Amino acid sequence: MNQSKIAEGIYWVGAIDWNIRDFHGYSTYRGSTYNAFLIIDEKVTLVDTVKRSHLDDLLFNIKAIIDPEKIDYLIVNHVEMDHSGSMPEIMEIIKPEKVFCSPMGKKALIDHFHREDWPLEVVKSGQEISLGNRTVHFIETRMLHWPDSMFSYLKEDGILFSSDAFGQHYATSERFDDEVPFSEVMQESAKYYANILYLYSPLIRKLLKAVGEMNLDLKMIAPDHGVIWRTHQNAILEAYDQWSRSESNKKALIIYDSMWHSTEKMAEAIRRGIEAAGVPVTMINLKVHHRSDVMTQVLGAKGVILGSSTLNNGLLPRMAGFLMYMRGLKPTNKFGASFGSFGWSGEAVGLLNNALEEMKIDVIEEGLRLKYVPDEEQLSECTAMGRRIGERIAESFENQ
C-alpha cells in the first residue's frame, strides 16, 4: 500500500512492464510502466487505464484499495492503446457514470472500440469537474503526441496528470523521481522526448508558455510512463523548454555505416579534425547503435555528420532506414555534412546532402566522396574537413 499511495486519497494503480524492449521501433532497454491513478473522493475516479496485456495488474492494484465497481468516473487523457487497451474490460467491470475525454478523444475512442453506448462526456480546455472535495481542471494538448491528448490537473492537491508528456520508458517499483538515480531518469526523459515528442517541439513551446501563465502550483507531475516528478519538477520543465527550443550543445556526431571500412577510415579522420578544433565528438556506427539511441544524441548535438558507402546507386540500408526515422522527427538548428566511399558510381554523398537539406539542416560542406580505399593524402582531406566543421561549430557558440 505504501508503494501505491502518492498523496492522501490518491493512488498509483498502474502496471510495470519489466520485459518490453521495443516500443514501435524505440528501444526500451529499461522496460516501461503504464501508469494509472485512483482518486478516492465522493466521486471515485480512475485516471487512465493500462495496456490490455496488463489488465490483471490494474485490477489487482485497484482491488487492494477499493471494489472496482465503486468507481464512478473514468478520465481518459490519451487513447493510445498502451493507456486504453484494457478499457473494454474495465468498462464492463466498473460501469462508470461518466467517461471524460477531449473532443478528439471521443472520436478516437469510438474509432478504436466502436462503442457509442459508452457514457462519453467531452471536456475542453479550461473546463472543470467536481469530484466532491477535489476539482479536476482539463487542458487540451492536441498533438502531444496524438490529437486526443489532454492533461488533467487536480487543483487542491497540485497534481498534474500529464499523459505522455514528461514521461520515461523506465520500469521500476519506485514511484517517484527522488527514489531512483536522477541521471537515469533524465537520460530516459531525453530519449523519450527525442523519439516521441521532438517533432512537436513548436507545440510544446506554446504549451509550456500556456501552462506557465496558469501559475499552477505543481506539487507533482504524474505522467503515463515512468516515475512521478515530486522533487525535480523544475528540472524536467526546464529540460523540455531547452529541448523544444532545439538548444544544442557544443558537440558533433559522426553517424556512419561502412561496407569494407573505407567510410569508417574517413569517419576517424574527420573525427580527428573536429577534435583538433576543440569540439567534442561522438562516433556512432549504425551497425551497433539503435536508431532511438542515436536520436537521443542528435537532440543535444550541434553538428550531425553523416557517412555511408554507396550500394546499388544508393545508401547502405541501415543509413537509409535511419534517415527515414530522423526525417520523421525533424531535428532543427543544426549543422550538417556528409562523406562516403564508393566503387564506381558514388551517389551516397549527394543523397545524404539532399536528406540533410530536406530536414532544413544547414549543410556547411559540399561533402567528400572517395573511391575505394582512401590514401594518406585523402585522409588528410577528411581531417581538414573535420577541422572546418569543428571551427564552424565553435564559432557558432562564440557568437551566442
Write out pLDDT tens, residues 221-235: 999 999 999 999 999
Q: Reply yes or no on whether 241 is catalytic.
A: no
Spatial CA neighbour of 101 closest among 164, 58, 147:
147
24 tagged catalytic:
yes
Q: Report the interhelical angle of 103-113 vs 87-94 (nearest 10°).
A: 100
- Residue-wise pLDDT tens digits, 315-364: 889 999 999 999 999 899 999 999 998 778 888 889 999 999 998 999 99
pLDDT of residue 399: 67
Check residue 19 and report its DSSP letter: S
> What confidence score (pLDDT) does residue 3 get?
64
To the query of whether residue 256 is one of the catalytic residues in this protein, the response is: no
Does the annotation mark 164 as catalytic? yes
Other residues' Cβ atoms within 10 Å of the Cβ of residue 356? 24
Is residue 238 pLDDT above 60, yes or no?
A: yes
Amino acid at the residue 100: F
What's the CA gap between 365 and 362, in Å, rounded?
A: 9
pTM listed for this prediction: 0.92
pLDDT per position as a tens digit, 40-73: 999 999 999 999 999 999 999 999 999 999 999 9
* Pairing state between β 314-315 and 310-311: antiparallel
Q: How many percent of the chain have pLDDT more than 70?
A: 99
pLDDT given for residue 173 in this prediction:
93
Residues 6+ apart with CB under 8 A from 52: 81, 85, 86, 89
Going from the N-terminus, what domains does the chain have, and what CATH number goes with each?
Answer: 5-244 (3.60.15.10), 253-398 (3.40.50.360)
Band (1; pLDDT cuts 50, 70, 90) = very low
Q: Please identify which of the residues 17, 41, 48, 82 carries the catalytic annotation.
A: 82
Q: What pLDDT, in 10s, does the model give residues 19-32?
A: 999 888 889 999 99
Is 225 among the catalytic positions? yes
Above 60 in pLDDT, residue 75?
yes
Residue 174 annotated to the active site = no
Catalytic residue among 164, 188, 257, 264: 164
Known catalytic membership, residue 198: no
For residue 239, which of 286, 277, 182, 294 has the smallest C-alpha distance? 182
* More confident position, 203 or 370: 203
Q: Within 10 A of 384 (CB to CB), how many other CB atoms are there?
A: 15
Cα 308 to Cα 352: distance, rounded to the nearest angstrom: 8
Average pLDDT over residues 370-391: 90
Residue tagged active-site, from 78, 137, 169, 232: 78
240 is catalytic: no
